[in-house]
Amino acid sequence: MSKLSVDLKKIISHSKEYGYIFPSSEIYDGLSACYDYGPFGVELKRNIKDYWWRSMVKSRLDVVGLDSSIFMHPGIWKASGHVDAFNDPLIDNKDSKKRYRADQLIESYIEKLNSKIEKEVKKAHKRFGDKFDKDQFLQTSVRAQDYLNTITKTTKLMNQYLIEEDYGSLKKLIEEIGIVCPVSGTKNWTDIRKFNLMFSTKIGSVADQATDLYLRPETAQGIFVNFLNVQKTARMKVPFGIAQIGKAFRNEIIARQFIFRMREFEQMEMQFFVRPGEEMKWFDYWKKERIKWHKKIGFSENVLKFHDHENLAHYANAATDIEFKYPFGFKELEGIHSRTDFDLRSHEKHTNKKLQYFDSELGESYTPYVIETSIGLDRMFLAVLCQSYTEELVKENTRIVLKIPPILAPIKVAILPLLKKDNLPEKSKDIYNKLNNFFSCYYEEKDSIGKRYRRQDALGTPFCVTVDHETLDNNSVTLRNRDTMDQVRISIDDLIIQLNNKLSF
């Protein structure tokens, strides 16, 4: 096992030990790729959401929020392209262990036959010179006719089987035409299985009258179908954005790497509607805005990078990812996509309802173009954990610290009596009650003071307030910094102001 995955392993077990993340359904042996957020995980997650919502919605005049439902009309997923585009027949080669899409295997086979025909044509052209008639050749050449017939027949059968979802026959077809695996060169294929990205379920209490529907695979569509509702009621003018935080569900073929790729996950999305033709300007604008956001909470230059897409999705005309350097490499954390007017237009087509905006400045109506920023909340959570987890040597002992940015930390301040006697606990609890109105606090009196500091370090608490005998004399406490372990003595009255300075957005 590589050193990198050892790091991830440490983070996973630390997350569990300190109440951040538990494996789902653990006492039933777990459920693959599902995780639960524990008492401190849920706080960190909430703080990340707040940080995003504040900067994307609260601090801007041109973006408003939305919380659309997870269940939506099944027609939406037809319009968005999810029903057709993510419904693949998959087949494995048992020798090379490679997985392919069955239809793509057959298509590349047809491609090969086509190039063989081309070769024949070229050869014949050489032979006959200028008098060469391509159509005539194709009709008379036995070999070319053979290829053409096979292509026609194979294409027809493939399409028929795909539509009927007759995967048994589709496999037979692959075997009959003798397709081999490009890697192993063998015909040792598994059966074809259908893979569907979306989870389906039923709504309605009577089974046979129930309507099939899907759990949403992205939050974006809830925004698109509410475009006019939001624009009109919040009286927004293009350019403007709609933001949403919510769960999404994808039946990933393989879900791995802890909370990086889960089947149930949470997205923080914003769709920004702009005038047609101005999309690249806004695409660049949001690229800059979003990278600024990441840097503001302390992600450094060398753990972030843009990754521009070469192959664009069916709806996009430009796309980039912000990648974060996880222990398993640079991976997508956030996507910024120029989605054109694909979604709005597609919903118009499917509903026969106008989804246009009248631009009073231009004096015309149009379907806005859309720039999407979409960040995985769980991926952000993991990025924060990976960035924060540190082990350092202090007097030949390992100190494990979660250097979580203070504004994101689940617990902001721990209040600790130096000793569990002499009225120190009582005094500490007074301070706890006072501070807890402003920050999330933690009170602890067990074990030696050093041990308690280390425990708070491991939990990621940025500040410890220690109450000692001097506190009883002059109302002063020590304030300890998690990252430097430095302590300053300050008056209790100054605590709230000082902490506020360090903990505000």
Identify the three-state secondary structure at position 386: helix
Q: Residue 308 and residue 278: Cα distance in Å, rounded?
A: 19
Closer to RNA by CB, 240 or 258: give it.
Answer: 258
* Closest CA relative to residue 181, chosen from 98, 305, 63: 98
Closest approach of Cβ 249 to RNA, in Å? Answer: 10
Q: Does 237 sit near RNA (CB under 7 A)?
A: no
* Closest CA relative to residue 226, chosen from 238, 215, 242, 239: 242
Q: Residue 457 and residue 404: Cα distance in Å, rounded?
A: 10
Closest approach of Cβ 7 to RNA, in Å? Answer: 12
Q: Does 184 sit near RNA (CB under 7 A)?
A: no
Asked whether 182 and 87 are in contact (CB, 8 A), the reply is no
Closer to RNA by CB, 18 or 147: give it.
Answer: 18
* Closest CA relative to residue 473, chosen from 435, 413, 422, 420: 422
Q: Residue 100 and residue 221: Cα distance in Å, rounded?
A: 29
CB atoms within 10 A of CB 374: 20
Among 40, 167, 240, 258, binds RNA (CB under 7 A): 258
Asked whether 267 and 374 are in contact (CB, 8 A), the reply is yes
Closer to RNA by CB, 144 or 370: give it.
Answer: 370
CB atoms within 10 A of CB 60: 15
How would DSSP label each residue in 79-94? HTTHHHHTEEEEEEBT
Residues 432-451 that bind RNA (CB under 7 A): 446-451
How would DSSP label each residue in 148-161? HHHHHHHHHHHHHH
- Name 77's Cβ contacts closer than 8 Å, sequence gap at least 6: 83, 198, 214, 217, 221
Q: Does 257 sit near RNA (CB under 7 A)?
A: yes
Closest approach of Cβ 142 to RNA, in Å? Answer: 38
Asked whether 482 and 464 are in contact (CB, 8 A), the reply is yes
CA atoms within 13 A on the CB side of 319: 16
Residues 18-47 that bind RNA (CB under 7 A): 23, 29-33
Rounded to the nearest 5 percent, the helix, strand and coil shares of the chain are 45, 25, 30
- Per CB under 7 A, the segment of 234-242, 254-262, 402-410, 492-500 that binds RNA is 254-262
Among 193, 194, 232, 354, binds RNA (CB under 7 A): 193
Binding flags for RNA, 384-413, as an x/- string (CB under 7 A): ----------xxxxx---------------
Residues 315-374 that bind RNA (CB under 7 A): 319, 328, 332, 335, 337, 374
Residues 121-160 that bind RNA (CB under 7 A): none
Q: Does 485 sit near RNA (CB under 7 A)?
A: yes
- Per CB under 7 A, the segment of 117-125, 133-141, 246-254, 297-305 that binds RNA is 246-254
Among 55, 367, 373, 466, binds RNA (CB under 7 A): 466
Among 177, 419, 458, 490, binds RNA (CB under 7 A): 419
- DSSP at 367: P
Q: Residue 87 and residue 167: Cα distance in Å, rounded?
A: 13
Q: Residue 236 and residue 121: Cα distance in Å, rounded?
A: 61
Q: How many residues bind RNA (CB under 7 A)?
A: 72
Binding flags for RNA, 73-112, as an x/- string (CB under 7 A): ---------x--xx---x-x-x--xxxxx-----------
Among 224, 427, 480, 492, binds RNA (CB under 7 A): 480
Closest approach of Cβ 31 to RNA, in Å? Answer: 5
Among 51, 283, 293, 453, binds RNA (CB under 7 A): 453
Closer to RNA by CB, 150 or 317: give it.
Answer: 317
- Per CB under 7 A, the segment of 142-150, 290-298, 462-470, 494-502 that binds RNA is 462-470
Closest approach of Cβ 37 to RNA, in Å? Answer: 16
